[in-house]
Structure 1
Amino acid sequence: MRRRTLLMSAAAAAAGAPAIARAQAYPSQTIRLMHGYDAGSNPDTIARHLSVPLTEILGQQIVIEPRPGAAERLAAAQIARMKPDGYTLYLMTGGQAVVSATDKTLTYDILKDFDFISIVTRFPFVLTVAPGSRFETVQAYFDEATREPGKLTYGTSGVGSTLHMAMELILEKTGIKMTHVPYKGGTGQSYNDLASGRLDMCVLTFSSAQPLMKTGKLRALAVTSKERHPGFPDVPTIAETVLPDYDVVSWLGFTAPAGLPPAIRDRLYEAFERAMARPEVKSKLEELGNDTRVTSPAEFRARVEADMARWGPLAHVVSQS
């Protein structure tokens, strides 16, 4: 019996040896870090800031590959089919949970087709207007929208984006009606439309809005997090002014195609944890409006599941847009 047990243990060890050897050798080549947005976007900016310390820690070059289109759907569909060997990583955004909860035509399932490694940043959105806008406060904007349903416009990065859903959640709960204007790409066109008066308000990520806010080219009305943003303590929250208990904060996290060997996942998690602990990385990301905290794979999955449950009831908004 003892001999049989020893033989079985030896066989199991032999079977696991190749996987262990691969993990110990990882990484031995360039790693592709992909995301679903344009160059210069918030995910692209975060990816490029993190690629430097990750290259140093892992000892291999991190190459950033934007795959923009269809609110991250194109990137996710491509990455889901790739080999789970740790050489293709996906910087997923909270928008992917929104898309997965509201679009039943997707060709992938993020809970089944991806392995979650770690969320690395969280960030609220900001409601902005042109400096000369007649709306001095967010309350004034919503008061006029209440008096004149459908008249006022707001812009976002696209139908079904988290920015879009953040506003629709307010409208759904208050009964207020506005006209959504979706934009593709960055803030350029929406900023021009705000400045010219063709657009009344725009919902942006902090990393996109901050440079324009600091130079006086945009004015902030409110932030979507429950607490005020430390970088702009004078800007009120939606919860304070329009809708009590409102709290919308998105995130960015590292994932890989499903089937990633646990040892490689652990190696990557350790690398992300070390990179995010560097003071220069933490300060730069916080300067861009991010809350920098690393989560475990289990916590990451739980957050995705919770977000999908939250946004699912707004699926009708996307289908009607």
Structure 2
Amino acid sequence: MIQRRSILGAAALMPFATTPLGALAQAPAWPAQPVRMVVPFAAGGPTDVPARLLCDRLSEALPQRVIVENRTGSGVVIGTDLVSKAPKDGHTLLYTTVAHSVLRALFPTLPFDPAADFAPVAFVGKVPMLLLLNKDIPANTLPELIALLRANPGKYDYASSGNGGAVHLATELFLSMAGGLQVGHIPYRGSSAAMPDVLSGRVAMIIDVGFAGLEYTRRGELKAIAVSSQARMPQAPDLPTFIEGGVAGYESYTWHMVMAPAGTPAPVLTAVNAAVNRALAQDALVQRLVEQGMDVVRDSTPDSAATFLRSETEKWSAIVRARNIRVN
């Protein structure tokens, strides 16, 4: 077992068979000690669970363990700050979401720079979201809901998992792209805290991560009328997209990405990326992530992850400004 794990660990430094031997000799060894994967979200939540599934696979394949460390507080600021100031050697990594892309827009003063102080390493996947309605709301399709909200400005409220979070951003994007609909916002401490009020009818609707929302719709407790992905979800093939419902170009996800402190040597970033991609090539792991509603990305690179992060930062920062979103 020790021999096999050592071989797999060395393979993390060789994502391509054509890597020159001289370059490998210059590359820092990774991992040389246990790796901390900092998750700036609570344990057991929709970000923590996929992070632990990934880290379990990495621990099996690498010569060192990859340990999840939940560091919450001030949204995602405390955990993210910890990684920004960690040694630049790949042994402290950040597992984060779309929340990272709006940090600068939401917090004018931060102890770190969300762009300059981080190096994207690997894109894990995207989780689409569902537009869920209380079952007594008189709308069964997205066009019907838009017409209802347009005819009754300010009458209805929507729930979110908190100010500036993925649920809040996705809903404000929808309201903006649907013609500036006027719907009240009630933030909660997480989607699970919001659901009782959506179920009871105190709040009319929520746009929540797909895997959680599907359970309510399957039991007939809520109505799902649209999915936020570009194409329909395999888990709910009869559910139309926002685009099919008439909101052209609408697309939103809560996505998952691994990052390292900026300045981490490129060979280490390549090694971490290769290890993540190898883990995501395993059908057993992919199946578990699909069960969480994720559209898994198996072949990202540090460059492709950085490009995606830049596009998401531009998109969501514009929404924060246009809709005057505040965290307090």
Task: Judge which range, 205-214 or 104-113, deviates more.
Answer: 205-214
1:265 corresponds in structure 2 to 269
Amino acid at match of 1:183: Y
**Are 2:310 and 1:305 equivalent residues in the alignment?**
yes
Amino acid at match of 1:318: I
Inter-partner Cα distance in structure 2 for 1:213 and 1:62: 36
1:222 corresponds in structure 2 to 226
**Are 2:66 and 1:62 equivalent residues in the alignment?**
yes
**Structure 1 position 132, deviation (Å):** 4.8
**Structure 1 position 296, deviation (Å):** 0.8
- Structure 2 residues not aligned, in runs of 5+: 1-21
SS of equivalent residue, structure 1 residue 268: helix
CA contact (8 A) 2:125 2:296 kept: yes
SS of equivalent residue, structure 1 residue 23: coil
Could you say if the C-alpha distance between residues 208 and 36 of structure 1 is closer, same or farther in structure 2, counting changes exceeding 3 Å? Answer: farther
**Are 2:287 and 1:280 equivalent residues in the alignment?**
no
Amino acid at match of 2:320: A
TM-score, scaled relative to structure 2 = 0.85
Between Structure 1 and Structure 2, whose CA radius of gyration is higher? 1
**Structure 1 position 250, deviation (Å):** 3.4
**Structure 1 position 133, deviation (Å):** 4.4
- Structure 1 residues not aligned, in runs of 5+: 1-16
**Structure 1 position 146, deviation (Å):** 0.7
2:252 corresponds in structure 1 to 248
Could you say if the C-alpha distance between residues 182 and 251 of structure 1 is closer, same or farther in structure 2, counting changes exceeding 3 Å? Answer: same
SS of equivalent residue, structure 1 residue 255: strand
Amino acid at match of 1:68: T
2:186 to 174, 178, 181: 181
**Structure 1 position 232, deviation (Å):** 0.5
2:91 corresponds in structure 1 to 87
1:315 corresponds in structure 2 to 320
Inter-partner Cα distance in structure 1 for 2:143 and 2:74: 33
**Structure 1 position 167, deviation (Å):** 1.4
Inter-partner Cα distance in structure 2 for 1:64 and 1:267: 19
CA contact (8 A) 1:71 1:158 kept: no
CA contact (8 A) 1:20 1:263 kept: no
2:111 corresponds in structure 1 to 107
Inter-partner Cα distance in structure 2 for 1:20 and 1:130: 60
The structure 1 segments of at least 4 consecutive aligned residues displaced by more than 4 Å after TM superposition are: 19-22
Alignment root-mean-square deviation, CA: 2.2
SS of equivalent residue, structure 1 residue 241: coil
Inter-partner Cα distance in structure 1 for 2:35 and 2:261: 13
Task: Judge which range, 289-298 or 132-141, deviates more.
Answer: 132-141
Could you say if the C-alpha distance between residues 320 and 250 of structure 1 is closer, same or farther in structure 2, counting changes exceeding 3 Å? Answer: closer
Inter-partner Cα distance in structure 2 for 1:36 and 1:162: 14
1:76 corresponds in structure 2 to 80
Give % identity: 28
**Structure 1 position 248, deviation (Å):** 1.8
Deviation per residue, 1:29-85 (Å, 9 max, x gap): 221111121112111010111111100111222211122233322221222111122
Amino acid at match of 1:23: P
TM-score, scaled relative to structure 1 = 0.87
Amino acid at match of 2:325: V
Q: How many residues align?
A: 302
2:194 corresponds in structure 1 to 190
2:144 corresponds in structure 1 to 140
SS of equivalent residue, structure 1 residue 115: strand
Amino acid at match of 2:85: R
Task: Judge which range, 92-101 or 212-221, deviates more.
Answer: 212-221
1:203 corresponds in structure 2 to 207
2:126 to 115, 122, 126: 122
1:8 corresponds in structure 2 to none
